[in-house]
């Protein structure tokens, strides 16, 4: 099985200096690529000078995560792509359990390893933790992370199990499946495009799995921090995009309820004096309305929608019923 570890880079020389050594040391089963999104720093020259065995794919523009990977992966031959953030440290033998699972389970299309916090290695990391799910209104949550409550890794998720979405911080996908899905939706630019990809895969009856025997350590927020209103904008907007395109049932009822819940989130930001984030939510909703007609066309063109979520509202469970851990849901 040919594995391509593909690291997307944009002005990330310092991250490459810090994290490439672990990827090189522990990825002997794979070929390593850096897909550069038209960086203006010295990233490319740094790789050429220090890591001549790494193949560089140079994109002509910074199209974000979605377009960046779509453009780069067209130029890479492999059986399986590993999409790896530039701020991830991998561990020894991290690839072996992934390869074994792909080899023994031909219907498994997408895999995520255990993602721990680089800065606090005893805990899961926000972006993916031990595999992702969504609730009735497409709010994402993870085994090991619900909203801002992060669990300590006590071995409770050392299993291999089906999940709904795999984190874009470290996502393995068979090349034929990525092609069948037409890659990422480039209108997302960044954030939640992996959930949309996995949701479309789910509706085509592909299987996504979490393999806890493989683990990586993710910094998180190295490109866009949680305090940045742009991240709030992209998360709220792209979540609405994903829901409208892929959810089963009465989409207008779901979207209306979701808009109300987003309004409550806006009130929370007001009480926290985070007015820039309130404006980001408003901007996200306006962008959603502008794109609604196109989203409905996409919805009509995509395959039949399946039941996708636990019959629950994670907002209600977390904030009202005080259920802060995955196993309490």
* Cα dihedral across residues 223, 144, 88, 183: positive or negative: negative
Kindly report, residue by residue over 311-324, the tens digit of the pLDDT.
678 988 988 899 99
Q: Quick one: pLDDT at residue 222?
A: 54
Q: Quick one: pLDDT at residue 320?
A: 86
Task: Give the Cα separation of 179 and 292 in Å (integer).
Answer: 25
* DSSP sequence for 33-76: EEEEES-SSSHHHHHHHH-TTSEEEEESS--HHHHHHHHHHTT-
Residue 78 · residue 3 · CB < 8 Å: yes
Residue 167 · residue 132 · CB < 8 Å: yes
Mean pLDDT of 60-84: 96
Q: Quick one: pLDDT at residue 312?
A: 76
Kindly report, residue by residue over 214-257, the tens digit of the pLDDT.
999 999 865 556 678 999 999 999 999 999 999 988 899 999 99
**Please, what is the angle between helix 229-246 and helix 193-203, to 10°?**
10
Q: Quick one: pLDDT at residue 308?
A: 73
Kindly report, residue by residue over 18-31, the tens digit of the pLDDT.
999 999 999 999 99
Mean pLDDT of 114-140: 95
Output the CA–CA distances (angstroms, integers) from residue 128 to 26, 285, 328, in the order listed: 21, 25, 18
Domain boundary assignment for the chain = 229-315
Task: Give the Cα separation of 115 and 180 in Å (integer).
Answer: 27
Give SS3 for 249: coil
Q: Quick one: pLDDT at residue 65?
A: 94
- Choose between 3 and 220: higher pLDDT: 3
* Closest C-alpha to 169, from 2, 325, 7: 7
Output the CA–CA distances (angstroms, integers) from residue 148 to 73, 88, 248, 272, 316, in the order listed: 33, 20, 28, 15, 15
Beta bridge partners of 194: none
* Closest C-alpha to 130, from 209, 223, 220: 209
Beta bridge partners of 30: 3
Task: Give the Cα separation of 168 and 222 in Å (integer).
Answer: 14
Kindly report, residue by residue over 248-305, the tens digit of the pLDDT.
888 999 999 999 999 988 998 999 999 999 999 999 999 999 999 999 999 999 987 8
Has residue 191 got a pLDDT over 90? no
Has residue 196 got a pLDDT over 60? yes
Residue 143 · residue 160 · CB < 8 Å: no
Has residue 208 got a pLDDT over 80? yes
Mean pLDDT of 96-118: 97
Q: Quick one: pLDDT at residue 225?
A: 62
Task: Say which DSSP state 271 is in.
Answer: H
* Closest C-alpha to 167, from 206, 198, 144: 198
């Amino acid at each position: 099985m040919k594995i391509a570890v593909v690291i997307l880079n944009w002005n990330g020389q310092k991250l490459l200096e810090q994290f490439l050594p672990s990827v090189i040391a522990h990825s002997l089963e794979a070929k390593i690529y850096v897909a550069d999104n038209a960086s203006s720093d010295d990233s490319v020259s740094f790789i050429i000078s220090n890591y001549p065995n790494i193949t560089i794919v140079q994109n002509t523009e910074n199209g974000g995560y979605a377009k960046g990977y779509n453009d780069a992966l067209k130029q890479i031959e492999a059986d399986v792509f590993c999409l790896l953030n530039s701020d991830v440290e991998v561990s020894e033998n991290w690839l072996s359990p992934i390869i074994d699972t792909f080899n023994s389970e031909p219907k498994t299309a997408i895999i995520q390893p255990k993602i721990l916090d680089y800065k606090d290695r005893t805990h899961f990391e926000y972006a993916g933790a031990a595999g992702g799910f969504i609730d009735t209104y497409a709010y994402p949550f993870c085994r090991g992370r619900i909203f801002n409550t992060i669990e300590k890794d006590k071995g409770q998720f050392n299993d291999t199990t089906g999940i709904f979405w795999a984190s874009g911080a470290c996502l393995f996908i068979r090349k034929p499946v990525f092609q069948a899905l037409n890659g990422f939706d480039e209108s997302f630019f960044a954030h939640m495009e992996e959930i949309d990809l996995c949701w479309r895969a789910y509706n085509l009856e592909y299987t996504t799995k979490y393999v806890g025997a493989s683990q990586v350590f993710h910094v998180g927020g190295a490109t866009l921090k949680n305090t940045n209103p742009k991240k709030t904008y992209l998360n709220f907007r792209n979540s609405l995009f994903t829901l409208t395109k892929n959810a089963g049932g009465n989409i207008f009822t779901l979207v209306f309820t979701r808009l109300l819940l987003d309004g409550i989130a806006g009130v929370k930001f007001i009480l926290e004096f985070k007015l820039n984030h309130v404006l980001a939510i408003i901007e996200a909703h306006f962008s959603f309305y502008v794109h609604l007609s196109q989203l409905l066309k996409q919805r009509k063109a995509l395959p039949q929608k399946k039941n996708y979520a636990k019959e629950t509202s994670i907002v209600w469970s977390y904030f009202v019923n005080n259920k802060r851990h995955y196993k309490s849901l």
